[in-house]
Structure 1
Amino acid sequence: MTRAFPLAGLLRMRGRAEEQAVADLATARRDEARAADLRRATAAALAGAGMPATGDDIAWMAAVASRSTLAALLSERDHQLGRAAETVQDCSEAWSVARRDARALELLEERHVATERAEELHAEQVVLDEVAARGAAPARIGATS
């Protein structure tokens, strides 16, 4: 009978940590894409916000205020996009570490399984050799009599 892998619990825990890291990375990438979309939309709105061709001072001041607000919003969107990119980088690094840790235990488990299998095969061979030796011994005894 094979022995259970002694670090199976830790391997399961590392596997779950890796799954969580993958989920966090996917969320971070989705947030980054959303931030990039918002930035593009704000940049397009700023590019489309022109000055009035005709009008009074109030219309001109409203256009200036609108462009100023959009410029400030674009700056904020740039900052959000930068933070989102940093989060993606952090999550990517966390996933790499989690994957490395899980893979190390997976390799240990593979080695454990191979060792167990080799021990089983050796034990089976010992039994077969003993059976063969017992079967050969009576044949030799009968041949010498």
Structure 2
Amino acid sequence: MTRDFRLSGLLRLRRLQEEQAAAALSEANSRTAHAHEEHQAFRAVMSSTLFPTHGDPNEWRAAVADRAAMSAIVGEAAIAVQVTARRAEIAAAEWTAARTTVATLDKLADRHEVLVRAEDERAEQLVLDEAASRRHQENS
């Protein structure tokens, strides 16, 4: 058995990929939170828009146009929330897949370490047995 874990290079690569996936997930979650905050802010602005109670028809039309424009902005912000949330879901799935791969390779590395340690212990035991056998033969 080789002393070094043959997949150590691959394990380092997969760990790096996991870190990158975690960073991408963090960024996606941040963008989702920002989009949600922006959506809430636009909704608050839209809900505070009042129609004039008195005034000429031009003021009324301007208020209706303003309300329609804000409604479109709120709709776009809602879509942005959905898009960023979906991207965050995809990033979470990619991170989970990367983490699973690393966990699998970690288990293989641990198993390799156990086997190497067992091999070392067997070799040490053989040396101790040989030394004890020689001492026994010298005393006989």
TM over 0.5: yes
Return the letter of the residue paired with 1:65. A
By how many angstroms is 1:50 displaced? Answer: 1.1
Within a 5 Å distance, the mapping from 1:125-140 to structure 2 comes to 125-140=125-140
Amino acid corresponding to residue 109 of structure 1 in structure 2: A
Aligned to 2:45: 45
- 2:109 alignment partner in structure 1: 109
Tell me if 1:3 matches 2:16: no
Note the alpha carbon deviations across 1:19-53, whole angstroms, 9 max, x for none: 00100000000000000001001111111011012
Which residue pairs with 1:143 in the alignment?
none
Shift of 1:54: 1.4
Counting only pairs closer than 5 Å after superposition, residues 1-145 of structure 1 correspond to structure 2 as: 3-140=3-140
Q: How many residue pairs align between the two structures?
A: 139
Distance in structure 2 (CA, Å) of the matches to 1:26 and 1:53: 47
User: Percent identity, aligned pairs only?
Assistant: 37
C-alpha deviation, 1:113, in angstroms: 0.3
The structure with more radius of gyration = 1
Offset from partner CA, 1:63-100 (integer Å, 9 cap, x none) = 11110000000110111000011001100100110000
CA distance in 2, matches of 1:39, 1:33: 10
Using the size of structure 2 for normalisation, the TM-score is 0.97
- How many Å separate the matches in 1 of 2:46 and 2:22? 36
Misfit runs of 4+, over 4 Å: none
1:128 shift after superposition? 0.3
How many Å separate the matches in 1 of 2:134 and 2:68?
98
Output the amino acid matched with 1:137.
Answer: Q
Residue 61 of structure 1 and its aligned partner are, at CA, apart by: 1.2
SS of aligned partner of 1:44: helix
**RMSD (CA atoms):** 0.8
Residue identity opposite 2:46 in structure 1? L
Equivalent residue letter for 1:8: S
Alignment partners' CA distance in 1, 2:106 and 2:87: 28
Provide the rounded CA distance (Å) in 2 between the counterparts of 1:19 and 1:55. 60
The whole-number CA distance in structure 2 between the counterparts of 1:138 and 1:83 is 82
After TM superposition, the score normalised by the length of structure 1 is 0.94
